[in-house]
Structure 1
Amino acid sequence: MFDWMKPGKAPEPRKGMPSPRLGEDEFKRRFRSQFHDPAFDSLEGELTKVTEAAWDAYKHSRKSPRTRKAGPEFAEPDYDLAVDWYNAHQAVGAAQQRHEDQSLPSRILLINCSSRSEHTCPSEMSKSWRLVEIARDVIEAAGEVEVELLDLSRLASEYGRNIHPCKACFSTAPALCHWPCSCYPNYSLGQTQDWMNDIYPMWVAAHGIMIITPVNWYMASSPLKLMMDRLVCADGGNPDPTRTHGKDAKEAKELELSGWDYPRHLEGRLFSVVVHGDVEGAENVRRSISDWLCFMHLCPAGAMAELDRYIGYWKPYATSHDELDADHAIQEEVRNAARTLLDGVRAKRSGQLIAAGQELTQPRQK
């Protein structure tokens, strides 16, 4: 019998990786590198003070310097929660109430997953953006449906837009992965301006989600993959960080082994996926995204809501937008994908959409 199978026992977290901690000189060099513009030269005295303050925060690992008491809704009301996390938690709760309110219009979240735009180095809009616009026209024309657009290209073109990488807390134990994610912001490491606290409520409020993405090297685009990884907390994540006293890995392991319920925070929402490529990989990327969404207990809106196609197959990249202009079939297929999502959302909210097996319980959650 494994020791962790005994009541109150759990495996000790494994340690042994080399420390990433920086010395003072290297930290300050990296911190000051963001002020390379000569416009900052006249502010040397001020920058020295700011650099010293940043070093002090780093040296003392002040991840969340502003906190508040958790309050009565949490297991330990007196626990000090990060204000950033608490505000994100409140926003997610409000979005869930909006999602459940039958008196409010249906909401569809449209996501452009290409990092390309004319506002940065590529100097040209993406085909994904054009397909999103086609889908948006269809949904808005239907009336009585709210459309929210999430344009992930802004990660590459807008100041202060970041999606920091997932730290894989879930793989230590699901209770260590908080819903919404509590890993960011981390002020001591300069890991700030994380977009996910705005993105989580978008997903929660939506009744339907439509993802439109290109193939990048046989895989999902990097902005999409960053978002996907950070949505792991939506599928079994812990909505009460006080139960693990923040990030206590041993406590999280004990919670999982005592019987974790894997709450599916996005369960039941409908989805559409459109993937376009130019050479290879479109089918595999579409399948992997659909599988991911289904694993989180979202539901495909219908066969026509899932689409993988090639635009300008083995043609010059310079003429790819011309190829899309000429491909009236894919334009109509995207419209049909949007129409299918719309029909599915309407049917589900009216109680007419029946998915076989939806009441069954899986014998293995994860």
Structure 2
Amino acid sequence: MAKSSKSDTMAVEPRKGMPSPLLGESEFKNRYRAQFYDPAFASAADAIDSLAEIAWQAYKDERKSPITRKAGEGFHDPDYDLSVEWIATHEAVEAAQRRREDKSAPSRILLINGSSRSEHTCPGEMSKSFRLVELAYGAIAARPGFSVEVLDLSRLASEYGRKIHPCKACFSTAPPLCHWPCSCYPNHSLGQVNDWMNEIYPLWVEAHGIMIVTPVNWYQTSSPLKLMMDRLVCADGGNPDPSLTQGKDAALAKKAELAGWDYPRHLQGRLFSVVVHGDTEGAGNARRGLAGWLRSMKLDPVGEIAELDRYIGYWKPYATSHDELDTDEAVQAEVRNAVLALAEAVEKRRAGSFPTIGTGLVDPRPK
């Protein structure tokens, strides 16, 4: 057996040097109690102190996944202890893939509202993105042979307990460290729970076509949409077997990548449409960025008709922007056309007459 060189060892040795984020007991408990700031909790102060102590012990002992079971057959290490929550999401993703592949099942369209604006929280008014999603839904819902799901990301800002935690960028350490679906959350020791992505991953997997509608926020997509986008990195080259890296062992992940990684494209072949709307500027850049991201994950474009960037009430008062949408019959028709084009492409793809060009070619730069 050839000896490993110093450069090989250096390549898989994770770089360290950032300051520790660990909290002391007092600061941890202060932060824990902060969620019970409302005086209504005062009568339960002793119970809260007891819970704070339990939470502190979980934090100190780093009990990220307190309930596990053996990975079992089909995994690289059947004896590895996997989080039962990750297993549940993994099984939901596999079930979604089976639904997508069922030729007797309806064609599935996922409509995504990317705006965080809602009348149910501080803005006090619905978003134009949601209205455009409703237009798309109305155009396709009654079409025979279709099932339509709406993912309303505004609920991150308006619904109790809804969270999409930020991506930790495991992929940049090595792709095998980025598990599909993501295993970074929940992390019970850090209180990083209620991760909505566990429900969102199956929605993407089962879809044949995906339409994203988003406003422009500072030349970019909305923050809820960007959170979801970042957390979908595991769908594009991520590792479906956490036992291969013994969980989050960075050195093992580096070795696995350097031994040859095939970058599995878990969402490849789905079709997409994007609609970006703005008030003053940035819509074109945001639309191109979104479409480029989807293409990079090997989702397929439908064509120009399904990729829109438009201004609604261009440089006019925000207070009357909904009135502007009411009268802009052209943009309403364009959104309907975009989703109908997506539906048509899905029908043709499932019938075998809308192939992905170049599927037999070897990609010299897989990721």
Matched residue type, 1:22: L
Corresponding residue of 1:297: 298
Q: 1:142: Cα distance to partner?
A: 1.3
Q: Secondary structure at the match of 2:171?
A: helix
How far off is 1:143 after superposition?
2.3
- Name the counterpart of 2:109: 108
- Structure 1 window deviating more from structure 2 (9-18 vs 63-72): it is 9-18
- Partners of 2:334 and 2:17 in 1: how far apart? 52
Which residue matches 1:279?
280
Q: Does 1:66 align with 2:67?
A: yes
SS for the counterpart of 2:212 is strand
Q: Deviations along 1:239-276, whole A, 9 cap, x unmatched?
A: 00000000000000000000000000000000000000
- What's the CA shift for 1:9? 7.6
Where do residues 152-171 of structure 1 align in structure 2 (5 Å cutoff)?
152-171=153-172
Note closer, same or farther for the CA distance 1:240–1:9 as it changes in structure 2 (3 Å cut). Answer: farther
Partner of 2:175: 174
Identity level (%): 68
User: Residue deviations 1:55-112, cap 9 Å, x none?
Assistant: 0000111110010110101111111001110100000000011111101000000000
Residue 52 of structure 1 aligns to which amino acid in structure 2? E
Indicate conservation of the 8 Å contact 1:172/1:249, yes or no.
yes
Q: Which residue of 2 aligns with 1:365?
A: 366
Gaps of 5+ in 2: none
Q: List per-residue Cα deviations over 1:168-205 (Å, max 9, x = no partner).
A: 00000000000000000000001010100000000000
Q: Equivalents in 2 of 1:307, 1:239: separation in Å?
A: 34
The Cα shift of 1:10 comes to 3.8
TM-aligned CA deviation for residue 4 of structure 1: 7.1
Q: Give the structure 2 partner of residue 118 of structure 1.
A: 119
Q: How do residues 244-283 of structure 1 correspond to structure 2 at under 5 angstroms?
A: 244-283=245-284
**In 1, Cα distance between equivalents of 2:158 and 2:366:** 39
Mapped to 2, the partners of 1:108 and 1:97 lie a distance apart of 16
Tell me how far apart the structure 1 counterparts of residues 340 and 7 of structure 2 sit (CA, whole Å): 51
Residue 312 in structure 1 maps to residue 313 in structure 2: yes
Which shows bigger deviation, 352-361 or 204-213?
352-361
SS of the residue corresponding to residue 361 of structure 1 reads coil
Deviation at 1:228, TM superposition (A): 0.2
Contact 1:271 1:301 in 2 (8 A): yes
Tell me the TM-score normalized by structure 2.
Answer: 0.97
Distance 2:332 2:278 in 1: 14
Counterpart in the other structure of 2:207:
206
Greater mean deviation of Cα atoms: 168-177 or 44-53: 44-53
Report how far residue 355 of structure 1 moved: 3.4
Are the structure 2 counterparts of residues 113 and 91 from structure 1 closer, same or farther at C-alpha, using a change threshold of 3 Å? same
Kindly provide the CA deviation profile for residues 207-242 of structure 1, in whole angstroms up to 9, marking residues without a partner as x. Answer: 000000000000010000000000000000000000
Q: Give yes or no for contact 1:4–1:11 (8 Å, CA) kept in 2.
A: no
1:351 partnered with 2:343? no
Unpaired segments of 5 or more residues in structure 1?
none
Secondary structure, counterpart of 1:220 in structure 2: coil
- Contact 1:302–1:344 (CA<8 Å) still a contact in 2? no
Matched, 1:98 2:99: yes
Shift of 1:313: 0.5
Q: TM-score, normalised by structure 1?
A: 0.98
Question: Which stretches of structure 1, 4 residues or longer, exceed 6 Å deviation after superposition?
Answer: none
Q: Which amino acid aligns with 1:104?
A: A
- Whole-Å Cα distance in 2 between the matches of residues 329 and 35 of structure 1? 50
Aligned twin of 1:54: 55
Q: Distance in 2 between matches of 1:140 and 1:51?
A: 48
Matched position secondary structure for 1:141: coil
Letter of the structure 1 residue corresponding to residue 134 of structure 2: E
Structure 2 match to 1:184: 185
Q: What is the alpha-carbon root mean square deviation over aligned residues?
A: 1.2
**Other-structure match for 2:224:** 223
C-alpha offsets along residues 4-53 of structure 1, whole Å, 9 cap, x if unaligned? Answer: 775x8843100000000001110000000000111111111111110100
More moved, 318-327 vs 348-357: 348-357
Aligned twin of 1:197:
198
Query: Distance between the aligned counterparts of 1:144 and 1:206, measured in 2?
Result: 13
Quick one: which amino acid aligns to residue 37 of structure 1? Answer: D
Task: Give secondary structure in 2 for the equivalent of 1:219.
Answer: coil
Amino acid at match of 1:300: P
User: Once the two structures are superposed, what CA deviation does each residue of 1:285-307 show, in whole Å capped at 9, x if it has no partner?
Assistant: 00000000000000012220100
Alignment length (residue pairs): 364
Instruction: Give the counterpart letter for 1:101 in structure 2.
Output: D
Who is 2:14 aligned against? 13
Q: Which whole-Å CA distance do the structure 2 matches of 1:275 and 1:186 have between them?
A: 34
Counterpart contact for 1:163–1:194, Cα < 8 Å: yes
Separation in 1 of the partners of 2:49 and 2:251?
40
CA–CA distance in 1 between the matches of 2:144 and 2:32?
A: 50
Give the secondary structure class of the aligned counterpart of 1:107.
Answer: strand
Write the letter of the residue equivalent to 2:343. Answer: L
State the secondary structure of the residue aligned to 2:49: helix
Is the Cα contact below 8 Å between 2:269 and 2:356 reproduced in 1?
no
What is the alpha-carbon distance in structure 2 between the residues aligned to residue 355 and residue 183 of structure 1? 33
Q: Distance in 2 between matches of 1:245 and 1:4?
A: 24
